[in-house]
Amino acid sequence: MDNAVIAREAHVAYLIGLGDDALILGQRLSEWCGHAPSVEVDLSLANLGLDLIGQGTLLLSHAAEIENGGRDADALAFHRDELDFRNCLLVEQPNGDFARTMARQFFFSTFQNLLYGALTASADSELAAIAAKAVKETEYHAGLAREWVIRLGDGTEESRRRMIDGLEWNWRFIDELFVNDAVDEAMIETGIGIDRAKLRAPFDLIVAQSLAEATLDLPAQHRSVTGGRQGKHSEHLGHLLAVMQHIPRSFPDARW
């Protein structure tokens, strides 16, 4: 296999990983529709989910164009199996209660906002344009989630307990966000991708400042859980995909 083919495959895999992160978390948030604590929160979570699915659609469409293999964003979203998804483990975790959902959103949106900010300088002009649009959305997502972390953490005894649980549950999946695999390394070399490890320091600073304002401590260190980028997922992703992919797979020739 020549170097051009290898580079193209790495480029496609990189975009799919970014797209899968957004798509899967968008699907998770959609599960809150009609079940959130209030109408206002229900609408907020639905809007966050739509933003993320929109980002996922743009990224997967771009990946399909570069791949040039006859697939489009819908094929990548609905006709891949669990082991083919490259999303991080954090986004596929169950919603749990509202506090756990907002803890997950705070961690991921804080990371994603830093990531997209860096990707606005990508050598891939289309990816840079997608990131420039998405960074405005993720800034709002991160701010909204941060407000809820503070509100619940510095609220009642019950809300504080639930937020501590949410932070503890999600913390084990954080390290994976900042690990560069072979695809990342290839994209860093071409100027298309960015070094995820460089995002850790600003991420930790934002988290520490936010939790201090919420009068909460940083979660205790857990053994890191990784593998999502390599298709090693938790049991939760398969259940999510069974719902998300049911209609397109049941009616593969349908046109909507």
Phi, psi of 124 (to 5 degrees): -85, 105
Residue 207's nearest CA partner among 150, 137, 152 is: 150
For 3-250, CATH number?
Answer: 1.20.1260.10
Query: DSSP letters along 135-151, please?
Result: HHHHHHHHHHHHHHHHH
pLDDT of residue 4: 82
In this prediction, residue 111 has a pLDDT band, given cuts at 50, 70 and 90, of: very high
Q: What is the CA radius of gyration of the chain?
A: 18
For 227, list phi and psi in degrees, rounded to 5: 125, -10
Spatial distance between the Cα atoms of 65 and 72, rounded to a whole number of angstroms: 7
Q: What is the mean pLDDT of residues 112-121?
A: 98
Length of the chain: 256
Is residue 29 pLDDT above 90, yes or no?
A: yes
Closest CA to 109 of 57, 157, 188, 44: 44
Does 53 score more than 70 pLDDT? yes
Residue 25: what residue type? L
Q: How far is it, in rounded angstroms, from Cα 11 to Cα 5?
A: 10
Structure tokens of 5? Answer: 């083919």
Candidates 69, 108, 84, 81; CA nearest to 13 is 84
The DSSP symbol for 217 reads P
Q: Is-contact 92 237, C-beta < 8 A?
A: yes
Q: Is the dihedral of CA 14, 18, 21, 22 positive or negative?
A: negative
Q: Which residues of 147-160 are buried (b: 16+ CB within 10 A; e: fewer)?
A: ebbbebbebeeebb
Domain ranges for the chain: 3-250
Q: If pLDDT is split at 50, 70 and 90, which confidence band does 65 have?
A: very high
- State the chain's mean pLDDT as an integer: 96
The pLDDT tens digits of the residues spanning 176-196 come to 999 999 999 999 999 999 999
Q: Rounded to an integer, what distance in angstroms lies between the CA atom of residue 33 and that of residue 135? A: 24
pLDDT value of residue 105: 98
Tokens encoding 81:
């199996």
Place of tokens 């719902």: 243
